[in-house]
Amino acid sequence: MLLPHGRVPVRQELQSDYYVYCLAGDLSSRLFLDFEADACLVVHDPDMFKSRVLSAARAQLLDWDALAGPVRYYDPLLVAPPEIQLPMSKHFRFAYQKEIRLAWLPRTPAADLKPFFVNIGNMTALQSSWSHDRLKKPWSSRTPNDRTWRPDTLNCSMAFPASLKLNPLPAAWHPEL
């Protein structure tokens, strides 16, 4: 049996367009720069937040499968194609994002999906706002209340209102493969 010499490009794509909502698993200054944001909302109860989003989306996506959890990062030179589980996998150059994804896939292939909003209710008790400037302040100059929230224990979305807009992605969208 002859094996190819060198790298062999492989492209994977889903059979359908789908919806995805992406969040960062940690609060990091780099994310503000990468996503050109000057603030984010920190979710203090990620399980409740996830439950609300999944429930609200389920009401509109009745016959769809939902996925939720951390993104699995892979090294493209060391991964077998069956190990890449779209849409929950991503090139390891993005591992610093510590991304959490909520994704919805139709049971029968769909194309040309339209964005829609889901209402997740009052978020006041579940979140607080953080500006990039607040994150950059040294720990010694923060208020006592600030010191109770360590960046390594926070979950951060790059900005979401109480109504979330779910945008569709085409089946072939996966630029980091």
Q: Which of 26-35, 144-153, 165-174 has the lowest mean pLDDT?
A: 144-153
Residue 4 covered by a domain: no
What is the structure's pLDDT at 1?
64
Residue 136 has pLDDT above 50, yes or no: yes
> Which of 10-19, 65-74, 121-130 is modeled with the greatest confidence?
65-74
Expressed as residue numbers, the domain containing 114 is 18-169
| pLDDT digit string, tens, across residues 26-69 | 888 888 888 888 878 788 888 998 999 999 999 999 999 999 99
pTM over 0.85: no
In a domain, 7, yes or no: no
Q: Is residue 79 part of a domain?
A: yes
Q: Which residues contact 14 (CB under 8 A, 6 or more apart)?
A: 86, 87, 105, 171
Report yes or no on 6 lying in a domain: no
Q: Which of the residue ranges 66-70, 142-146, 149-153 has the most confident prediction, judged by mean pLDDT?
A: 66-70
Stretch 8-31: mean pLDDT: 84
The DSSP letter of residue 29 is H
Q: Flag whether 87 is in a domain.
A: yes
pLDDT at position 135 is 62
Residue pLDDT, tens place only, 77-125: 888 888 889 899 999 999 999 999 999 999 999 988 888 888 888 877 7
Count of structural domains, the chain: 1
The answer to whether position 111 is within a domain reads yes
